[in-house]
Amino acid sequence: MSKLIKPHGSDSLNPLYVADDAKRAALEKEAEGLPKLLICSQAAANAVMLASGYFNPLTGYMNLADSLSVAENMKTTSGLFWPVPIVNVVKDASAIKGAERIALLDPNVDGNPVLAIQDVESIEEATDEQMQAMAAKVYGTTDTAHPGVSNFLSVGNIFVAGPIQVLNYSYFATDFPETFRTAVDIRKLIEKNGWSKVVAFQTRNPMHRAHEALVKIAMEREGADGAVIHMLLGKLKEGDIPADVRDASIRKMVELYFQPNSCEITGYGFDMLYAGPREAVLHAVFRQNMGATHLIVGRDHAGVGSYYGPFDAQEIFHKEVPKGALEIKIFEADHTAFSKVVGEVIMMREAPEGHKKEDFVFLSGTKVREMLSAGEDLPPEFARPEVAKILMSYYQSLS
C-alpha cells in the first residue's frame, strides 16, 4: 500500500466534522438551547475547511494574539507554522455575551441553520490599526479595491475564538455532490488508486489547454502517479465563472484528454481570498493535508489585479517559508501557451531561442469572454472545442 505524506502539524488528520450520527444528533439538539451567532461567509468557509480536515491541526478559530502572530510571521503564538489567520470575526457579539458555548448559524443556506457549535474561549475587539496591520501582511495591501481586503475589513473586528464541532458541510455537499470532497475523502481516493506521488492543481477557473498541459508537464517531470484537480467551490469575485460551469468543463476535458484513471476531479468548500503569495502557502498546507506531494504554483497564483508580481507566490516559498515547515513540494510553473513554432503548449520560459511573443496563441480573459458571448469559436490551440462549447452556452445564457 502506498505510504501517504504526513498531514501538516500532526501524525494523523483531525477533521472537525462530527461523523458519529448519535453525537451529531445530540449536538443539534443542544444547539436549539444555545445563544446563536450568525457568522460571515468566510468564517463559515473556515468551518467547512476545519470540518474537512484541510486546516489540520487547528481545532477552531484563532484568537487575536494568534491572528496577529500568524499575519506578522506565519506562526501561531505556540509556534505552529500557519500562513493566514483562520478566524470568526463579527461586528456585534452582544447576543453571545458571557456565553461559554454558542451555535454558529450558516449565512449561506436558507433559514440560517446551525453549522457548528463553538466553545467560546475569548471575545476580543481588534483596533483599526491591528486590522490594517493584518490586512497589510496577509494581502500585501490595505487598498479596499482589493476584494480580499474589502471583505476582511468589512465583516467586523470582534474575534470570537475557540474550538468548534461542525455539524454539516454547508451548501457544498448538497450543491456539488459529485465534486465536493474532504481531505479525508481525497486521502482515501489516493490510497485506493495506489498513488504515492500526487500533483495537486488549484483552480478557480475553467481549464484551457495551457492548464491541461501544465498538469501533464508537472506529472511527467515529478514522476507522479496521478493528479488531483482541486477546484474552489465557494464565493468568488463578480465576473468569475460559477462552479457548476467550471466543473462541467473540467470534467469534459479530463474525460477526453487525460489518460484513464490518471486524474481525480474534486473540489473544496472555501471562499477565495485573492491573497496571492500567502494564499499560495495556505493552498500548499491544505494540499499536504489531503495527501498531495506536489502543488503546482503558477504565474500570479491566487492573485487579483496587479497587486502581486507574477512570481511572488513562488518566491514566498524560498524567502519566507522556513525550511522543513512543509513536506509538500512546489512545482514552479511559468505562463503556458500554445507555440506556433513548436506546435504544442509549452512554458514560455522554455521557448526556443528567437521565439517571439507573437508566436504564442494568447488571449486575455476579457477577449475570451467577448468571443464566447458573441458565439465565436475560440482558437483550438487555446481551448479544447468541447470545453469551449460548454463555456459558450454559459456566456450566451447571460445575454
Marked catalytic residue, from 14, 157, 193, 205: 205
Q: Are residues 181 and 169 in the same domain?
A: no
Out of 146, 173, 200, a domain closes at 173
Q: Are residues 131 and 266 in the same domain?
A: no
The confidence band for 2, taking pLDDT boundaries of 50, 70 and 90, is: low
CA distance 240 to 235: 9
CA distance 253 to 261: 14
pLDDT in tens, 48-67: 999 999 999 999 999 999 99
| Distance in Å from the first CA to the final CA of the chain | 52
- Which amino acid is present at 174? T
Active site residue 205: yes
pLDDT in tens, 300-311: 999 999 999 999
Per the structure, the complete domain to which residue 279 belongs is given by 177-398
Which residues touch 212 (CB under 8 Å, ≥6 apart)? 253, 257, 258, 345, 384
Active site residue 24: no
pLDDT in tens, 155-206: 999 999 999 999 999 999 999 999 999 999 999 999 999 999 999 999 988 9
Total of domains in the chain: 2
- Do you know the residue count of the chain? 399
Percent above pLDDT 90 for the chain: 94
Cell output for 216: 501533464
**Mean per-residue pLDDT, 195-220:** 96
Marked catalytic residue, from 181, 187, 204, 384: 204
Out of 119, 145, 173, a domain closes at 173
The DSSP line for 361-384 is: E---HHHHHHHHHTTPPPPTTTS-
pLDDT in tens, 92-138: 999 999 999 999 999 999 999 999 999 999 999 999 999 999 999 99
Q: Are residues 370 and 264 in the same domain?
A: yes
Q: Which residue has the cell 513536506?
A: 327
Residue 4 lies in a domain: no
Q: Which long-range contacts (CB under 8 A, 24 or more apart) does 387-393 make?
A: 387/206, 387/207, 387/208, 387/249, 387/252, 387/253, 390/206, 390/245, 390/248, 390/249, 390/252, 391/206, 391/241, 391/245, 391/249
Cell output for 60: 477552531
Out of 173, 206, 235, a domain closes at 173
| Torsion angle, alpha carbons of 101, 102, 103, 107, to 10 | -150
